Structure 1
């Protein structure tokens, strides 16, 4: 995929609107019928096509994140119907009318970003955005996008549809947020009364609710899963920092085994790991770099002087002789996370030393209608 958006037009007026749109929409490619050629298409990177637009749509559907089509809504629906696979993978599809007055979100409004793209295109064209997704219209929690602006990951998607229905139908919804960014409510109005926020699963035990949104870095117990996920969705905020020290040449396999086993022992989800942290001497350590590539983690590195600013319960003279720092995993975890203490101060396993810290956020729970 070379570009993000394909803009497609098949009428004279549509071509005019489309040419104006791509000039102001970075990452977009323009396609229109060759009978409307003006002679500057090659220089501008515009692709001309002959025959029915239906013939090029399967390729565009596969190659682009979003399609902006200046054709009638009914025609677009008929053409894309055979191409639909899954809401998690289908591209965003947006339709613009032939006068550029309305921009309609047609497909993949949330996960595919069509609603956001619709607003962006409408702003460029000074048109009216048409969005029918209930959570957007009602200005409430979009279950399938909850926390996405912070990088939260949905672990259990199976109940997303009934939980979304509970939210928009104003049933009793409980948000159990044990960690992660608290400022997820995006609207300039109070949280609706039917949505209750609590700061822990324990606090939610005695509550009555019809659906649950669970935001935590913990592995839930079987009883918690049964109670909260029977009609609930589980989100993993990126809040764990792994401070890692290792001997030179330690393999990816050994580091990964230490990480996965330790997180399992602590009952923490690997999906909530935000990054690793270590001493700058290890910034080119192959095993650590391979771990970051495999899981998509960043690596924060600190000088010995920076690490030594952190007070340690058991500073190591041995580590100091080799690195100039009295510790690596423990101070690196605190410096990177901003935490004042560790979930795990230090665990030594073979060639690896691991510490775990939790990124602090203000209290997650909030009162309704604050």
Structure 2
């Protein structure tokens, strides 16, 4: 997929440059072209398979006005705020690849990926997975099946530590099942040590007290740990379930 990064302000250039390098994308500079971001977007919208828009949601909405035709043919569009806090799959999420692109942007910047398509968003399970080097996809799948049984279709995403971002067996497992892989740094995990059994060995190797449990809980912070760290042939798996339930209204405070 050919990609373009479009910042609306010159102040976002360092972030835009980092993104374009990490995504192997074309960086468009509207201030150099003496054209508005909207004009650039309308002129080149279908020249790229995907766009990362560095701008506010209101600007993005107005800039995209009149461009979308069909989710089957529109380019993928991901919206990222200049603070790199949220990477939002905005257009052509499932069919066009914006959901996957949102995770790529998130993993590059530390942003939270935001996916709202029903197919993905209604799945309640998040898996945290750690593994030894060179583990196979078959072994990863066997560990997952031991952890959650037949609920693989309920999995929304997989999370792991940055040391494992290029682990072939884990990537193959995620690719086979169409699951996005979310990456956390050891620093993020260490700051949120949600583990039932911290491991001195894991901390020595990775810099974090644990991988599978803190990854799953950090990726799904309002969820409940339903499968604590399970070990199978060099793979650790933890599962968190996140289901929204309506909360009873709270009574207003009565001022004395």
TM-score, normalising length: structure 1: 0.35
Task: Select the structure of larger CA radius of gyration.
Answer: 1
- TM-score norm. by structure 2 comes to 0.49
Greater RCO between the two (CA within 8 Å, min separation 6)?
2
